[in-house]
Amino acid sequence: MNLKKFFIGLAAAFSLVAVGTSVSQSNTAYAADQKIVVNKAKKQVEYPAVVNGTYFTQPTRHLCVYKNGSNGDKAVLRGEASEITFYNDLKKIGAKPGNNLRPADMKAVKGQGKRVEGSKLNIYIKWKGHKAVPIQDCIKSTKKYKTDFRFGGNLGRAQTMNTGCVTCFDSCSTGIVSDHAWPTGSTEPNHVVKFYGNQKVLPKDGTHVTMIVKLAEK
């Protein structure tokens, strides 16, 4: 009788451990992707993201990276939708990819970098209770400049590399969108400039925001 109770108790204990493990795993899993809103009339897409406060004080070359990419935790904004979907949605609003950069361009020495081409895009950030803010105001940098984001394209490399790069601060051969204002090599390897999220403008770490990417008027 005592032996029977022992085995019943042992089975119950294993059951509790299994349940506990299951709960722990589900709590650490990423939430499902969020939907990108495409507005063809306004020629804009609204991309969901979350503020990563780490980059208020640490420099990064990434404005926004999809959370499931290899660079998912290396950006001011942690993206909640695939960069591949983002690429396709930009094409839906009439944006044309430049596709002019190659991986070798990323190793350019200072003064010899190439600039991303493609349709010009205006970017804004908005969040609950706050109107949309131009991306220029959401960025801090060690040098003054004017943003000039372009639809670089790079779909094939985005699929192959799986970095998750949605938007980069300097011209990039993998990111879907990057900034024509800074040629390849500006952040790495030449360290010409450093970029940060502007803590005085952006909401606190963990806040859900929307990155509005709008096709610029010609």
Residue 27 pLDDT: 30
Strands 120-127, 139-141: parallel, antiparallel or unpaired by DSSP? unpaired
Same-domain check for residues 18 and 54: no
Domain coverage including residue 197: 33-215
Tell me the whole-structure pTM to 2 decimals: 0.85
Same-domain check for residues 90 and 180: yes
Same-domain check for residues 1 and 38: no
Split into its structural domains, the chain has a count of 2
Same-domain check for residues 15 and 120: no
pLDDT in tens, the chain (218 residues): 454 444 445 444 434 333 333 332 223 345 678 999 999 999 999 999 999 999 999 999 999 999 999 999 999 999 999 999 999 999 999 999 999 999 999 999 999 999 999 999 999 999 999 999 999 999 999 999 999 999 999 999 999 999 999 999 999 999 999 999 999 999 999 999 999 999 999 999 999 999 999 999 86
Same-domain check for residues 176 and 196: yes
Residue 16 pLDDT: 35
Same-domain check for residues 83 and 103: yes
Same-domain check for residues 86 and 184: yes
Same-domain check for residues 26 and 39: no
Same-domain check for residues 108 and 10: no
Same-domain check for residues 83 and 24: no
Q: How far is CA 210 from each of CA 2, 67, 135, 195, 213, rounded to the nearest angstrom?
A: 62, 15, 12, 20, 9
Same-domain check for residues 10 and 50: no
Same-domain check for residues 14 and 110: no
Helix, strand, coil % over all residues of the chain, rounded to 5: 25, 30, 45
Query: Read out DSSP for 57-95?
Result: TS--SEEEEETTSTTTTSEEEEESS-HHHHHHHHHHTT-
Residue 32 pLDDT: 77
Residue 6 pLDDT: 44
Residue 31 pLDDT: 61
